[in-house]
Structure formats: structure tokens, C-alpha cells
A = this chain, B = another copy of it.
């Protein structure tokens, strides 16, 4: 049982790590920052990091790092997007049982170009609020020219898989009995640092709460 019943979203290796809950998919997407977007360009696979946002069961992307890939994607071609959180390194008594604790989502589908001004506006809002929550109201919103210069694609979340590992090492009995190596998890987390004002910002401009109080990445 996975989130969607297609062959490519049915997790076979370490199937116990497969997630089956759509809320879990949404949570992994919502707590990420960029996705890795793959598509076929000139017959070869290409993958690029790209910003995104989610609205319901639609993922919106606009390619600050891949203008060409975005044009290709806008033509309805097949794409695949992965969002990965690394939560810790799993140290086992044997090398072969070393592992990573992670939360990972993979979405498959055909990209759809977002053309209507209303949907594009909503897409840019969710992409913006995902990258920088609070900025949509605080900063200047896109004008008509900026809007026209921006390409946005949509990806339906219907076909997706989730895979997670959140556990200690799973060593072989002989290695546990030998007791010759340490075993455990070294947690990894992302943390925000202290905001650095822009050089051209007048002194005394207070850092707004949506930046200082941003919740953990």
C-alpha cells in the first residue's frame, strides 16, 4: 500500500519505510525548501534544484535555477520531483548497516503550464510563502511586467510516494554480541542563523517578526 497505486510509486526495497498517508506527503513537501526536479532534455536525464510551493494537491514550481528546464517542463512533458529531509546519520557496528534517517517524497507526473493570471498569481503566492513566509504581505508584490516574465508550471500530486527512516541501527546479532563498535544515531538538523541586513538598508530598520521568528527549517 502506497500513496498511489502505480508501478513507479510502489516501493519494493525496504517496503516497510513506505508512507501511505497523504498528510505525510503534504508535511514533507511543506517543510522542505527546494525540490530536485528531473526531466528529459535532448534525450538525457537532467536534474536541478528548484523552488516550489503547494496548494492542495498541486505543486507549483518556477525555475529560478532552470529557465530552460522550465520551458521544457511547460510543454507537458514528464517530470519527477524529489523532496528530501536528512534527519541523522545511523552508525552501526558494521559498515553495511550504516544508514541515514530521512523523510523523502517523490512526485511523478506531466508538468502543466500555468497560463491563467489568477492561477499564476496564486502559484506565485504559495511559492513565495513557502520560500519566505510573511514576505507576500511585507514586500512589494509582482507587477504586471514581472508577472508576464515569470513562467510557472504545475504538477499534480496524484502520483507520489513517501519513504522515511526514523530508527536506530539494525545490526546483525553477531555484531551486537561482539560489542566492538559504537552504534547509534547522530541527529542532523537545519537551523536559521542571525538575520544579516542588506548593505543598502538604512540603519535602524528593524528586522520584521516573520524573519526573526521563522520556525525551524
Binding site for B on A (CB under 8 A): 8, 12-13, 33-34, 36-49, 51, 64-68, 78-82, 84, 86, 88-89, 91-96, 98-100, 102, 104, 106, 108, 124, 128, 131-132, 135-136, 138-142, 146, 150, 163, 168-169, 171, 175-176, 178-202, 205-208, 211, 214, 217
Residues of B within 8 A of A199 (CB): 168
Which of B82, B142, B202, B214 makes the CB contact (< 8 A) with A48? B82
Q: Tell me if A98 and B190 are in contact (CB < 8 A).
A: no
Q: How far is the CB of A124 from chain B (nearest CB, A)?
A: 7
Residue of B nearest to A42 (CB): B8
Q: How far is the CB of A34 from chain B (nearest CB, A)?
A: 7
**Can you show 20 pairs from A to B with CB atoms below 8 A apart?**
A13-B67, A36-B36, A37-B47, A38-B47, A40-B44, A45-B47, A46-B80, A47-B80, A64-B99, A93-B139, A94-B140, A94-B142, A95-B141, A95-B142, A138-B181, A171-B200, A182-B211, A185-B195, A186-B192, A186-B193
Given known A34-B84, A38-B45, A81-B47, contact A190–B190 (CB-CB < 8 A): yes
Q: Tell me if A33 and B81 are in contact (CB < 8 A).
A: no
Q: With A and B bound together, what is the CA distance between A133 and B182 in angstroms? A: 14
Given known A94-B140, A140-B95, contact A88–B202 (CB-CB < 8 A): no
Residues of B within 8 A of A88 (CB): 193
Residues of B within 8 A of A40 (CB): 40, 44-45
Interface SS of chain A: helix, strand, loop or mixed? mixed
Which of B42, B102, B184 makes the CB contact (< 8 A) with A207? B184
Q: Tell me if B190 and A208 are in contact (CB < 8 A).
A: no
Given known A33-B100, A195-B184, contact A48–B8 (CB-CB < 8 A): no
Q: Tell me if B98 and A132 are in contact (CB < 8 A).
A: yes
Q: With A and B bound together, what is the CA distance between A211 and B4 in angstroms? A: 39
